[in-house]
A and B are shown apart, each in its own frame.
Chain A
Amino acid sequence: MEWLVAVPQFLAGGLAIGAVYGLIGAGFSLIYNTSRVINFAQGQFVVYGGLSAVSLVANGIHPLLALPIAVLACIVLGGALQAVLATARRGSDELTFILVTIGIAIAWQGLAHQIWGSGYHTFSLYPEGAAFVLGASVSYGTMVTLGVTLLVCLVLWLFLYRTLVGKAMRACANDPRVALTVGIRPRTMVLGAYLASASLGGLAGVLVTPSLMMSAEFGVLLGIKGFTAAVVGGLANPFGAIVGGILLGLFEGLCVGLISSDLQDAYAFIALLAVLLLRPQGLFARKLPAGVR
């Protein structure tokens, strides 16, 4: 039991990856709220963001410049995804969209394998080293990741609740037909949501790759965990998803430390099931998003 003092370390271990889950989850939430689609390919934005940055840096581009370029690449991907989904026939049901995004996720993952192989890659961004916070070693990289994520959280909140465009997006989520009547174009909003989601994912990728490395193989699992984050926080609520992600990361870290690391991926799944069954609207949303029960 002497290692109980290591509990803060367990928690700290989950912070960086929790931030990633949160950003992915926010992406899920944005897309779902504007178009009722669960984007299985969400995790791929993280992979492409991180690996693109790796390639750019390997080709001599300064990391700080590589960051926005990589995120831009993801935004393009996001737009492409939305364009593909828009070709779906009218009246396509949920199964159609789920399977289309799954197909795209598999295809993108395969493409990533083609380009970057199945190995792990990284690039240098953060200063080396760590600080001790409450008895836990927290790397500078983790601190930056967390900081940027919280900043994004704030920006997202301000955008959705304080700007006109953001409010329009929320109106769209509530009822696209009514939004139409007041001059909001749902299709523009939907495209915006995809682009925003992709940039969040790409940002997560570039933030986390220097600390935790990135591989083409991570996409699907990251997507599932990001979805869990969104569910925990409340699918209806993007910045709730970010908080949900951090909570999920902490939970995972705690379980890995206290129980066993063998079941690492299972903890997220158990959390997902628990939330779905006990409080499906998540911790921060008040009502259930449509089409759940």
Chain B
Amino acid sequence: MLDRNQERRRVLKVLGATGLATLAPAVARAKDAEAWRIGAALDVTGGASFLGVPEHNAIVLAVEQVNAAGGIKGRKVDLAFEDSKSTETDSVLAVRKLISQDKVSAIIGPSRTGGVMAVLPIATEAEVPLLAPVSGVNVVEPVAQRKWIFRPGQGGDLSVGKVLDYARRAGWKKLGILYSADAYGEDGRDNMRKLAPDFGVTIARVESFPPASTDLKPQLAKLSAAGVDAIFMHGYGAPSAIVYRNAREMGLKAPIISGHGQANNAFRNAVGPAVVGQPIVGAPVLVWNELPDSHPQKQPAAKFVEAYTARFGAAPDMFAGVAYDSAQMVLQAIRETDGERAQIRDWLENKVRNYVGVTGVFNFSPTDHAGLTRDALVMMIATEGGWRLADYEK
């Protein structure tokens, strides 16, 4: 039996531990009071880190470039960054922190459609402009309820439109859809269903796969049995790589045409030779050296690729480009206004006209917070070493 002193000491120990824990979060970030502050909430860890890491790099690059050139109106630009860890809950926490603790003027991120959907009400309520490097259509529609949200990236509807146009040219009449069971995949499926009739294409069969699949032969077998001319694949991560290998092993005749989820280096390295010859929707930044000099994205993409590669030792991919464009837009907005949140928002909505970015030529308006057309996308064909521009584009 413990004596009273021992007992008391133990109680104090427990109280102490709890007390320390509660006081600890007074740890605040060191802030330069004079600097412009922009925020980024990206998935640098977790399942979407293949998106978040390049995006983060791109924004860091943009901020470094502007600070090296003397900042904006004499003041430096500070990047407040939070990891949204590829989950909705962490996306919410990250954005909340950026808004209320770091008091940023604008936020870029999160990296996934799911994360963006989660933070929409927060950014809207707090009236902070949010630029989301994702492709989900619901992110910016209905526009009336998305006043503070911009999506300067290739939308899922554009991507699908590109695929359908390619399909029409290739003479494909029946398509199958293979989509990943998450927000991104569902977006692709919904877009494809909606737009296919406009291009004279029918959807013969729809199959899905969970994000952690290891074998997609059952789905491919069913799609093949439905007699499709080609399979539209909309997903990302390992299963998307497995799809190609499975198809090759099964001797599948129908080509697999993929949405832009595959247009990144992580995928290309993982999938190996199985994808060679297959068409993939991509962005100018990936095949910039094949673009004609007159292409509006050639110069910006070349410069961006050079700077990024020099800084990070690897070439950037599609969404790094989007993140870079987002950062540049925000910085430009700060240059041309007083850097207040509402001002940045208004600038984005009204002043982004024929804005030439790495990704495409942007046109925001009160009714369009997506800003791009199908031309911002290019169809690529996977090659032994990477990708090349599809003949369709030439």
Contact = CB atoms under 8 A, between A and B. Distances in A.
Nearest to B240: A120
Contact of B225 (A3, A120, A218): A3
A127 to B, nearest CB: 11
B47 A13 contact: no
Contacts, number: 93
B238 A213 contact: yes
A215 B50 CA distance: 13
A261 B249 contact: no
B214 A9 contact: no
A183 interface: no
Contacts of B212: 217-218, 221, 265
Contact of A139 (B208, B214, B241, B249): B249
A257 B210 contact: no
Interface in A1-48: 2-3, 5-6, 9-10, 12-14, 16-17
Given A17-B215, A130-B249, A253-B215, A262 B181 contact: yes
B238 A3 contact: no
A10 B207 CA distance: 14
Interface in A36-94: none
Contact of A137 (B47, B242, B249): B249
Interface in B170-225: 181, 207-210, 212-215, 217-219, 221-222, 225
Contacts of B266: 119
B126 interface: no
Nearest to A121: B270
B214 A212 contact: yes
B222 A213 contact: no
A13 B207 CA distance: 16
Nearest to B218: A257
Contacts of A12: 217
Interface in A149-195: none
B284 to A, nearest CB: 25
Interface of B: 45-47, 49-50, 86, 181, 207-210, 212-215, 217-219, 221-222, 225-226, 237-238, 241-242, 248-251, 266, 270, 272-273
Interface of A: 2-3, 5-6, 9-10, 12-14, 16-17, 113, 117-122, 124, 128-130, 136-137, 139, 212-213, 215, 217-218, 221, 253, 256-257, 260-262, 264-265
21 contacts: A2-B226, A3-B225, A6-B218, A6-B225, A13-B217, A117-B49, A118-B45, A120-B270, A124-B272, A128-B273, A130-B250, A130-B251, A137-B217, A137-B249, A213-B241, A253-B218, A257-B222, A261-B219, A262-B208, A264-B209, A265-B212
